[in-house]
Chains A and B, each alone.
Chain A
Amino acid sequence: MSTTGKVKGIISNLVIVEVDGAVSQNEICYIETAATKLMAEVIKIIGVNAYVQVFESTRGLTVGSKVEFAGHMLEVTLGPGLLSRNLDGLENDLDKMEGIFLKRGEYTFPLDENKLWDFKPLANVGDSVEAGSWLGEVDENFQAHKIMVPFVMDGSFTVKSVASAGQYKIYDTVAVIVDAQGKEISINMVQKWPVKKAIMCFNEKPRPFRLLETGVRIIDTMNPIVEGGTGFIPGPFGTGKTVLQHAISKQADANIVIMAACGERANEVVEIFVEFPELEDPHTGRKLMERTIIVANTSNMPVAAREASVYTAMTIAEYYRSMGLKVLLMADSTSRWAQALREMSNRLEELPGPDAFPMDLSAIIANFYSRAGFVNLNNGATGSITFIGTVSPAGGNLKEPVTESTKKVARCFYALEQSRADSKRYPAVNPIDSYSKYIEYSEFEEYISKRISPDWTAKVNEIKTLLQRGKEIQEQINILGDDSVPIDYHVTFWKSEVVDFIILQQDAFDKIDAVCSIERQQFMLNLIMGICRANYHFNNYTDVMDYFKRIINIGKQMNYSEFQSENFEKYIQQLNGMLAENQVQ
């Protein structure tokens, strides 16, 4: 007999329920209204009073309404068929909902119960298996979707039977396993998992090392992120957070991309709905939507479900990682999630921390980022979740609690800067303040020297020093004037501008420039290094400016041309000609 209760108080979406039995923290319950049932989660218990946050509007709810407790925490359903779906923060399939407007209390199943899947067995009778072991696989959008021993299973089991290759529905039994006591358990393709708990069915989590190619030069070349790495993009509004995030999600070399649109604009999600089914994955040539799952809780959808949405997305990511896949998870924006926590903490009348955020905000963020990572699975395969979150700092001030808490845990920092955005230098990632900790990892150094070249990180560091120097000189010129600094200074400054315009800046809306392969990045960096290492002779500083502006113009035309095409080679010729003009040995 499950616990029931009655509504005793209502303060916006916080409802106080008097219960008649045991309830647990974070347990799910349903509140009955005249027309429908509203889903809610227990967030505090005092005596017989359970405080629950309702995932919907509480308009019209009355005291005395019946409440039924579900006996479990907020769970998601995991199984083949999640790819290409548009889900809400509670994993309801948005496409299955009827009508133009969202109806309160409408919950839809995220999978297709009748679809037939081509199953191939992987385990053999007699195999010893545990939670997360692969029993078989089905083909989901041309990727091998592993059917696993459910993550909730404890201990080790023996495979008694596995279904033969053929077509099955998700609830058909595809294997039977036996526990130590001889009890038989039937396994189908569907399992459930509470979103707030990490799926830990892997052997170890080593330091990540393999470059995740995103095709964005300022990331791959300057501040690389790795498979299983974490990064965050803080930036005031209008600096291009979402454009950068979309670029990464379109181009990154990942098997699965999960986009958690958390408390952001609905039209941005619509952009994904429209573009992804059309665009091609540059690595496989298949449609982007085939590898993508969208978890959308836009800013006008219920606030409490906003918090759930990031956990739902992370849990789905962990599920696919357990199949040995490379998963990229993007959350836009984690600040909105933190604000949802703040609203609820406020209603619970908790003592506030900085900026009225809950005191444990830092711990919550750290805990969430730690769920990403590169793992060695128990069967020797590897999988990864690369997590990139955006942060929307209030007033563009990076000293606010969400940015500071995130900075402590995320290893890549891509600081978007208002002044760069104002002068249309996109992506507006500040090249000097941003960093990637992975570039210091010896594991990464070893990998990249094989993938690109042994002197790669040395070159990148040289370029970074040049950018730093260029910025210092620019400040001096601003104070002293063009005339009062040596011509050499102008040359160094303009070399840093060449790097800025040709390497750092990238046109996300140009078909060719948007994606830059790692080979092309290597070529361009070497080319620019050549220009920057050379010595030049000039008579006055205006000549310096004119000369390098012409170089920049050619470089830009190169970025707009197909790599190694006839045009591209033509521009290299032009460039070489120009270099010969003013260069001195």
Chain B
Amino acid sequence: MATKAFQKIYTQITQITKATCSLKAAGIGNEELATVNGKLAQVVKILGDEITLQVFEGTEGIPTNAEVIFLGKAPTLKVSEQLAGRFFNAFGDPIDGGPEIEGEEREIGGPSVNPVRRLQPSELIATGIAGIDLNNTLVSGQKIPFFADPDQPFNQVMANVALRAKADKIILGGMGLTNDDYLYFKNVFNNAGVLDRIVSFVNTTENPPVERLLIPDMVLTAAEYFAVDHNEKVLVLLTDMTLYADALSIVSNRMDQIPSKDSMPGSLYSDLAKIYEKAVQFPAGGSITIIAVTTLSGGDITNAVPDNTGYITEGQLFLRRDSDIGKVIVDPFRSLSRLKQLVIGKKTREDHPQVMNAAVRLYADAANAKTKLENGFDLTNYDERTLSFAKDYSENILAIDVNIGTEEMLNDTWKLFARYFKVEEVNIKQELVDKYWNQ
């Protein structure tokens, strides 16, 4: 960031910690940006004339006589059509060797949408994956994370979903992304020939962790530009939000805040909500849909990060390797899309809700039968039929490599019902049974 004339320059730092430094200065606004020996920093605390700055890169090597320049503004991003197809760092500077962006400078982390101006999300996002389209249908304007262990192929599934969903723009926010994964995304988008629809803001593991805190706000400022100014359907991908939360805890720790659960700051819920609630259907047609990744430690969802996330997002998707078929499926028990009620049976066929529930219920019966088998008990005929059903269902409908339309998913499920069960075992409304049982 270039220095402008008449900016006050300070050279006397009074206190330095690992992430912050303090100095005496006057007329400074809260959350204003500054540079400390060229490193970007932000005002986080003002007490009288003492200003505390959070230095994003960390304070390594900063001397007490460092040159501190206040920029008189909060962090901003220049927005224009030129963003499309480009890669940026957490400060919004290009990292792809291309030219600087010209456009309107907007403050990031802007205000919330007035809830009465929101439209109810109602547009289905089809992905071809039955674990999503059939059981956990996504809707534009929704926010939903993958809850996944680090060894699961969440980035691949997310990239797949992103490419199949018919979005006008895809904005990727990479936080603590390994360089390999960064290159993976770059390649996938490049090979699909959709690079002109993609904007990426990336903080890799090589960059300082505190910088990550800027990524979601950068991404969402760009998303709002395309969704509001151009009425486009924007799909935002955020990976990995757990690493974002880790950065929050580092900062709050260095600011001497009392930690709450799992050493996370007490404000974790509000901090995450501010990001996820940017998902919205605007009345003029634009929308922001957020698909995120929250990595878990050993599948533990009671940890503060997935727990708070679950309360904020509109559902969550779990990936699981099904040992019966040796493939990854979207777990039908633990996954949930809260907005699916808005589209299933309305935008999809009338039997969708009941077929979905019946299949999951029978799949649950199969899980019980499996437990019985493992414990050495005899199986009933019904138990055995549920087990065969479950395998068929998993292999031919749920597996993420199956790519079919919703109607086909429904027809196939009815066929499985008829193959393995009697009508009264399926518990579906009679009028639907009459219509679809023997189709």
**Which A residues have a C-beta under 8 Å from some C-beta of B?**
8-12, 16, 57-64, 86, 94-95, 97, 99-104, 236-238, 263, 265-267, 269-271, 273-274, 296, 298-301, 303, 333, 336, 339, 342-343, 346, 352, 355-356, 392, 394-397, 422-424, 478, 481-483, 509, 542, 545, 549-550, 552-553, 556-557, 560
Contact = CB atoms under 8 A, between A and B. Distances in A.
Interface string B367-407: 00001100101101110000000000000000000000000
Contacts of B257: 346
Interface of B: 26-32, 44-49, 74, 107, 109-121, 141-142, 228, 257-261, 266-267, 269-270, 273-274, 277-278, 280, 282-283, 301-304, 307-308, 310-312, 314-316, 333-334, 336, 338-339, 341, 353, 357, 360-361, 364, 371-372, 375, 377-378, 380-382, 424-425, 427, 429-430
Contact of A394 (B107, B115, B304, B312): B304
A300 B112 contact: yes
A545 B380 contact: yes
13 contacts: A9-B47, A9-B48, A59-B29, A100-B113, A102-B112, A266-B112, A266-B277, A270-B119, A273-B116, A424-B357, A481-B378, A549-B424, A549-B425
Contacts of A339: 266, 269-270
Given A9-B48, A265-B277, A424-B361, A61 B30 contact: yes
Given A16-B47, A63-B46, A301-B112, A550 B424 contact: yes
A237 B311 contact: yes
A63 B46 CA distance: 8
Contacts of B47: 8-9, 11, 16
Contact of A560 (B28, B283, B360, B429): B429
Contacts of B113: 100-102, 266
Contact of B427 (A95, A296, A483, A553): A553
B427 A395 contact: no
B228 A59 contact: no
Nearest to A269: B115
A60 B30 contact: yes
Nearest to A351: B258
A312 to B, nearest CB: 15
Given A103-B111, A481-B377, A343 B46 contact: no
A528 B54 CA distance: 66
A577 to B, nearest CB: 14
B360 A59 contact: no
Given A509-B341, A545-B380, 9 more contacts: A9-B48, A12-B44, A60-B31, A63-B27, A86-B116, A102-B114, A238-B315, A266-B118, A422-B364
Contact of A423 (B26, B364, B425, B430): B364
A542 B380 contact: yes
A298 to B, nearest CB: 6
A542 B375 CA distance: 19
A434 to B, nearest CB: 21
Contact of A100 (B117, B336, B360): B117
A26 to B, nearest CB: 22
B48 A8 contact: yes
Nearest to B275: A300
B113 to A, nearest CB: 6
A300 B273 contact: yes
Given A10-B30, A273-B116, A299 B424 contact: no
Contact of B280 (A94, A97, A266): A266
A102 B228 CA distance: 14
Given A396-B302, A550-B424, A545 B382 contact: yes
B312 A299 contact: yes
Contact of B115 (A99, A238, A266): A266
A182 B121 CA distance: 60
A270 B258 contact: no
